[in-house]
Structure 1
Amino acid sequence: MAIKISKYHLVNVCLAIVMFALAVIAIRYYNHYVSAFTDITIESKALNESRKVFIRLPTNYDKSKAYPLIIKTDGNFNLDNWDRTLTAQRKAGEGEGAILVSIPNKFWKTTRNRDLVPPYARQEVNTEPRPEFQTLLEPNGEADKFLKFIEAELLPYLQAHYKLNDQRVLSGFSAGGSFVLYTLHTKPELFNGYFAFSPAAWYDDMSVVKRFSDFLKTNNPKIKAPTFLYLTVGGAEHPLMLEAFNSLKAALNVSPNPNLVWHSTVNPNAEHNDNPKQSVAKALVDYKEFAQSLIKQH
């Protein structure tokens, strides 16, 4: 026996599906593009688009005081952990906190790899070197443009609206970790602290490792001021991630620089997405010791 469905019921079902889909999109948008802190939008000429930025001020923020600045990628990812860690360290008397700025990826289009992958590597993750005939078919990363956005647009905005001291950190995870390394070997003067959590340095047959290693060998004098680098990886991560991590450490050992202080940590049993959660507190403690050593020297 055939079941008859009236147009009225069919329309209601369709409307219910549409409303459910819109609700799901709204929740995802909110979780991705709205923070628990201060959200601003910058009209970026470097990227030719509007970019959202989350700004977390320290508890009991005093506009007359100068604060350290931390810029991280990936928006709300691990942002609550950063907030808890900074709050806990302030309560423990370990400094007055920092201004934490987090840049979310665009919501309506895929921009993460575009922004975070260095311009000498493919946007699409691949372990093998790219065949020559694919050079024009697969776009490279555009981390150079994203870095220009940070240098020429975001930093001036922050300097104009907040009082900052000379402690400045760039932090990133996975592709964001490779962006941190890219920034260090192209614009080391922008920050004096670099946190690379599980850096995806294995792109295109370890291209990030090779470029970073070449920089350490031939451009060491480019690091003209004391700079801190923190590398970390999870012990349970993909073998390629561990190989890249060990290769980065080897390159740093082979080509030491008096102005570059670096620490590394392997978090036992940590999977890829768990590693940044286990890395924030240690990175901040080690960087604080580095910053305090500079103050003592002066």
Structure 2
Amino acid sequence: MKRLLLIATCLFISLPALAQSKILYEEFPSSKLDETRRLKIQLPRDYDENTEKVYPIIIVLDANYLFEPVAGNVDYFSYWEDMPESIVVGIMQGDSRYDDGAYDDVNFMPEEKGADFFEFIGLELLPYIDSTYRTAQFTIAVGHDFTANFINYYLFKEPPLFNGYINLSPDLAPMMAERIPQRIPSIEKKTFYYLATGTDDIPDLRQITLELDTALKPLKNDTFDYYFDDFEGATHYSLVARAIPSALEKMFSVYRPISKQEFTEKLLKMDTPISDYLTEKYKVIEDLFGLTNPIRVNDYIATATAAEKKKQYESLRTIASMAQKQYPDTVLGDYYMGLALEGLGEPKKAMRTYQGAFDKEEVDFITIDLMLEKADKIKEDFGY
């Protein structure tokens, strides 16, 4: 008995550990910098088990203090499926951040060590991460004040190196506040841009951030997703803890499961087929983030419920058919197929569909008893 208890205790202790994200430290020799740089890397919880899965990359500058808040929020948001699991790569900089971000006094673009650091990230670090880990073709850069300015230089590559830019109280180089709004309209690929300040931020940085916000707001369009936060009472340093989750939530809003608000304000107001909304949502996820995710049960239920309420029975049948193919061992698709057939005036087929799912796995509120009740009700009403 004691031995069984010991084994059970060991399993109980080890299981949570298996579910944790993995932190790695690497020494990266850079020929561009002519020195070795220390990296801190967080791999997703299921990285070792799910060997076919690929992950977006989040590059964090100032990783000496920014890595933990970014990595912690990424792990938390991805755990609840509010963003895709991602590989977080932190570049430890410390006092070298000023040399890394050095720019010319005339054209205010990277020079000397700053130019080397620019090439280190683009020509050495990202190719190394892509070749060493399973990555999706979606990358975000995160920086604070001096390093927030630096990540903007990648906007001027053709095409820009990153898909997303998280600028935390940027200490912008001269002319940068004018150059960014001039550059944005000529960028063809989808770009996500987040900017944050606080009411108690360093006055000069706050002022230039507000001016940049004013210039960027009119530019928001189908290819440029722009987000801005001005946190009440936040200082130059405290705003970081509030801005990072806000930035991730905004940038990955399309990735999240369909919410109650989305259900009410979008699905229930649609005149076009709701099944199209479901397929388009996951097509956008694939196009933006390079991820071919299975459609969530939650999203099947949300769109099917909306289609039923809107009496879009053909659309409901399409959703049900998709669910049957993706989750064939569950009652999910059969339940909504039965509802669709009832709505389309085919009660006998609906009854048989309900009855045929008696040995399948239950999902959410859809139980075997519910399925059999639906079948019995049709039998009673139509005398089958």
TM-score calculated relative to the size of structure 2 = 0.56
Q: Which stretches in structure 2 are left out of the alignment for 5+ residues?
A: 1-21, 257-280, 288-384
Deviation at 1:187, TM superposition (A): 5.5
Which sits farther off after the overlay, 182-191 or 155-164? 182-191
Q: Do residues 57 (structure 1) and 28 (structure 2) align?
A: no
CA deviations 1:168-203 (Å, max 9, x no partner) are: 1011011111012222234552111110011011x4
Structure 1 match to 2:181: 216
Q: Size of the alignment, in residue pairs?
A: 238
Structure 1 match to 2:115: 144
Q: Do residues 176 (structure 1) and 164 (structure 2) align?
A: no
Deviation at 1:101, TM superposition (A): 0.1
Q: Percent identity?
A: 24
Counterpart residue identity of residue 101, structure 1: V
SS in 1 for 2:137: strand
Could you tell me which of 283, 286, 290 is aligned with 2:247?
283
Counterpart residue identity of residue 239, structure 2: N
Structure 1 match to 2:207: 243
- Supply the distance in 2 between the matched residues of 1:104 and 1:91 (Cα, whole angstroms): 26
- Supply the distance in 1 between the matched residues of 2:107 and 2:181 (Cα, whole angstroms): 23
TM-score calculated relative to the size of structure 1 = 0.71
- Supply the distance in 2 between the matched residues of 1:279 and 1:80 (Cα, whole angstroms): 14
Counterpart residue identity of residue 111, structure 1: S
CA deviations 1:193-236 (Å, max 9, x no partner) are: 110011011x4xxx0xx23423533x445412010000001220
> Contact (CA 8 Å) 1:113, 1:141: kept in 2 or not?
no
Structure 2 match to 1:116: 101
Deviation at 1:143, TM superposition (A): 3.0
Counterpart residue identity of residue 41, structure 1: E
- Supply the distance in 2 between the matched residues of 1:263 and 1:141 (Cα, whole angstroms): 32
Could you tell me which of 165, 169, 178 is aligned with 1:194?
165
How has the CA–CA distance of structure 1 residues 144 and 257 changed in structure 2, closer, same or farther, with 3 Å as cutoff?
Answer: farther
Deviation at 1:274, TM superposition (A): 1.2
Could you tell me which of 5, 9, 31 is aligned with 1:45?
31
Deviation at 1:294, TM superposition (A): 8.7
Deviation at 1:155, TM superposition (A): 0.8
- Supply the distance in 2 between the matched residues of 1:44 and 1:190 (Cα, whole angstroms): 19
Could you tell me which of 217, 220, 223 is aligned with 1:259?
223
> Contact (CA 8 Å) 1:74, 1:176: kept in 2 or not?
yes
Structure 1 match to 2:69: 81
Deviation at 1:81, TM superposition (A): 2.0
CA deviations 1:14-39 (Å, max 9, x no partner) are: xxxxxxxxxxxxxxxxxxxxxx8211
How has the CA–CA distance of structure 1 residues 242 and 141 changed in structure 2, closer, same or farther, with 3 Å as cutoff?
Answer: farther
In proportion to residue count, which structure has more helix? 2
- Supply the distance in 1 between the matched residues of 2:236 and 2:176 (Cα, whole angstroms): 23
How has the CA–CA distance of structure 1 residues 63 and 234 changed in structure 2, closer, same or farther, with 3 Å as cutoff?
Answer: farther
> Contact (CA 8 Å) 1:122, 1:140: kept in 2 or not?
no
Structure 2 match to 1:157: 128
Larger radius of gyration: 2
- Supply the distance in 2 between the matched residues of 1:250 and 1:148 (Cα, whole angstroms): 31
SS in 1 for 2:122: helix
**What do you get for the CA RMSD once the two structures are aligned?**
2.7
CA deviations 1:75-94 (Å, max 9, x no partner) are: 23132222321222123232
> Contact (CA 8 Å) 1:185, 1:212: kept in 2 or not?
no
